[in-house]
Amino acid sequence: MADLTFRDFAGAIMRGDAATAASVLATLLALEPDAAAAATEHFRARMTGNDPAFMQKAMGLRTAVTSGSDAEIAALLEDCFGLDAAARPGALAALRQRYPTPT
């Protein structure tokens, strides 16, 4: 099986498969299942809300992960997934391990 990506998460969201989306997010962000389910619901609610800038922010996570600062990534994790101050460091570390900053 190929490595999971945010594309897998987005695909599950678009299919309305919250359980798969949460499972993917748990892997990508090193979240416990309950936290991943809450983060998935936060993302889904924001995506279907009336904020036209949200999807642009969400897509900006990929750029931030590869070339942004830890502060930028943490802000996007909070905004896109509702991660609190306790959850963000672990999620950030998981992303940095999965997507190392190019040297």
Q: For the chain, what is the domain count?
A: 1
| 21 within some domain | yes
| 103 within some domain | no
* Residue 10 structure tokens: 């987005």
The closest alpha carbon to 55, from 5, 4, 10, belongs to 10
- What's the pLDDT tens digit per position in 18-38? 999 999 999 999 999 999 999
Domain membership of residue 78 as a residue range: 6-98
Average pLDDT, the chain: 92
| 30 within some domain | yes
Its pTM stands at 0.90
